[in-house]
Amino acid sequence: MEEEVKRWTAKRKAALVTEIIQGKTTVAEASRAFDMPPSEIEEWVDEAKRGMENALRAKPLDVREQYERQIKELQ
């Protein structure tokens, strides 16, 4: 995934996060390769993990329920 990225679409973010989860690259390597702050990439990884967890639930939460739960956790 070394091509120049002009716009980070959801598809491109997912591809990068997948490479990180699979151990093909690290957040630090991706940060250097794409000249991005590691915190931004880490945020994508965290969001992907939350989305994956919800998708694998017996009864997935809808988007609104997810955000309401996140807000409660942050408060």
* Banded model confidence at residue 3, pLDDT cuts 50, 70, 90: low
* Banded model confidence at residue 23, pLDDT cuts 50, 70, 90: very high
| CA distance linking residue 52 with residue 24, whole number of Å | 19
Q: Does residue 1 lie in a domain region? A: no
> Domain range holding 66?
10-74
Is the full-model pTM beyond 0.75? no
Say which residue, 66 or 74, is predicted with more confidence: 74
| Structural domains counted in the chain | 1
**Nearest CA among 40, 56, 45, 43 for reference residue 20:** 45
Tens digits of per-residue pLDDT, 31-46?
Answer: 999 999 999 999 999 9
